[in-house]
Amino acid sequence: MGSMSGKVAIVTGASTLIGQGVVRALNSEGAKVVMADIAIEDGKALASELGEGVTFVETDVTDDGALDALIAASVDAYGGIDYLVNLASTYMDEGVNSSRQVWQDSLNINLISGQVLASKVAPEMEKRGGGRSSTRFDLGQGRAARSDDVFGSKGRHHRDHAKRCDAITADEYPCELDQPWLDLVEHHEDGHQ
């Protein structure tokens, strides 16, 4: 049995290369994983490959109804939620050539939707004694923000429900795609803020 046996994790953006790596790492440590993404074929293929203990749920993170359905599916399938890994993102911005709508859509996907999902999942984590929420976000063109800078007091509220609430960015934690995600979290816990 792995170190996460009996735990349940939701991973958004789970059909991407990084998302698939996180799903594989969590699964190899014994966690039940609910994959959430709009890329249906890739998501279903990985869930099928990994088999029992991995479920794919088509989820548009910008749709609150879809987030509610994701949470319900997670609880129905595995009895609760212990971890949330927000990896859903878009890279559609074109820097200074981006329109206001492109920036708003990018912020909605890359930042706001992760916070909304963390708010929605916190009560389920609390039912199981607390959990962990990690968000990987990018504000475009490689610019990243820390969780306290973005979430403020609301982020601290989520830390009360989730035992840890972190922001992991590619700039802070560059890694090879095959590096286990759990190593990144461990690195973060060792004092790299």
CA 75 to CA 69: how far, in whole Å? Answer: 10
User: Which CATH architecture fits 8-186?
Assistant: 3-Layer(aba) Sandwich (3.40)
Token representation of residue 190: 């060792």
pTM of the model: 0.74
CA 14 to CA 79: how far, in whole Å? Answer: 20
Mean pLDDT, to the nearest integer, of 5-13? 94
44-59 residue pLDDT tens: 999 999 999 999 999 9
Q: With helix as H, strand as E and coil as C, how does 44-62 read?
A: HHHHHHHCCCEEEEECCCC
Name the least confident of 1-5, 38-42, 174-178: 174-178
Mean pLDDT, to the nearest integer, of 153-172? 41
Confidence of residue 24 (pLDDT cuts 50, 70, 90): very high
| Closest-CA residue to 74 (of 124, 29, 112) | 124
Write the single-letter amino acid at 116.
V
Q: Which residue has the higher pLDDT, 143 or 84?
A: 84
